[in-house]
Amino acid sequence: MATMMELGQAVRTAAAELPLAGTTQAMTRFDEARATLTQALTDSVEPAGLPHLNRAQTHLDKAVTQLMAAAEHLDEYLVSIGLSPTAPKGDTGPVPSAAPPAPVADGTRAWWLARVDEITQADDDNKAKADTEIRHKELTPLFDALVKAAAGSDRNLYRRELHATDPAVGVRLPALTWPRVRILAAELAGGAPTAKNLDAVGAKTRDAVRRFLPGLEDKADQVELAAACHVAAAPERHPVDIAAMGPVLVAALTKALGRT
């Protein structure tokens, strides 16, 4: 019995040393850094370090997922040998709160608006009608609005929703879209997405991406799908490209599964 208790203590020590709390705190800091950098770039037409922060965020997301899985496996082992788990079910330590969107004054979103117009191929008339009011200042309502727009066929509506987006919120869209894309892609592929079955999944999204984002390069959807599904490393991409692509992929995959 003493040996069993010692083993249990060793497992508990290993679980306690998992850097989950520190990693989740790092996620919070990244949210804050991204919001601050976005605010600082409001007068710029270049995204500066935002693509690097987005790639780092992807690595952090994966790290937290793996750490949580490791902690759960350790708990399962403790239970299997008749000992209590290290923490109540669902207690994974402090959860990072979303950083509040940085306020962006009207007319100072040049880099965001310019790239939106470029990838949606807005003509001069539509550029002149660009929404100057920032209506989307919260992440989840923005995600819902963009997915709803992408479920239709009106590219101008999709562009208007992006125009009305606070860039500090828009650059955080992958936090919602990428996990959803992974789930939908797995359902469509009949299992975990891989390099072999991702082409078939991409075939279901290609037309939608071309319709809504004709200014993106060929196979942009495949690159994004591979990154979202952890099949390939996150690409060096403009943050607006990543933000705008996600809701289109979600809408297209949802439609491919016969859902509305």
124 lies in the same domain as 46: no
Average pLDDT over residues 117-127: 81
Does any domain span residue 100? no
Query: At residue 32, does pLDDT exceed 60?
Result: yes
187 lies in the same domain as 63: no
43 lies in the same domain as 125: no
75 lies in the same domain as 118: no
Query: At residue 244, does pLDDT exceed 70?
Result: yes
Query: At residue 247, does pLDDT exceed 90?
Result: yes
The per-residue pLDDT of the chain, averaged, comes to 77
Res 141: pLDDT: 92
Does any domain span residue 65? yes
Res 91: pLDDT: 39
114 lies in the same domain as 76: no
Res 107: pLDDT: 43
Does any domain span residue 102? no
76 lies in the same domain as 115: no
Contact 156, 126 (CB under 8 A): yes
Query: At residue 59, does pLDDT exceed 50?
Result: yes
Does any domain span residue 101? no
166 lies in the same domain as 62: no
Q: Which of these three, 41, 58, 80, is where a domain ends?
A: 80
* pLDDT tens string 130-188: 666 788 888 889 999 999 999 998 999 999 999 999 888 888 888 889 889 988 999 99
Does any domain span residue 118? yes
Does any domain span residue 96? no
Res 46: pLDDT: 61
Max mean pLDDT among 4-18, 43-57, 203-217 falls in 203-217
Does any domain span residue 16? yes
Average pLDDT over residues 12-24: 71
- Range of 24's domain? 2-80
149 lies in the same domain as 252: yes
76 lies in the same domain as 116: no
22 lies in the same domain as 62: yes
76 lies in the same domain as 117: no
Res 73: pLDDT: 72
* pLDDT tens string 62-116: 776 677 677 767 766 766 666 655 544 333 333 333 333 333 434 457 889 999 9
Top-confidence residue, 54 or 182: 182
What percent of the chain shows pLDDT beyond 90? 28
Task: Tell me how many domains the chain contains.
Answer: 2
pTM: 0.61
Q: Which of these three, 33, 63, 80, is where a domain ends?
A: 80
Res 236: pLDDT: 75
211 lies in the same domain as 122: yes
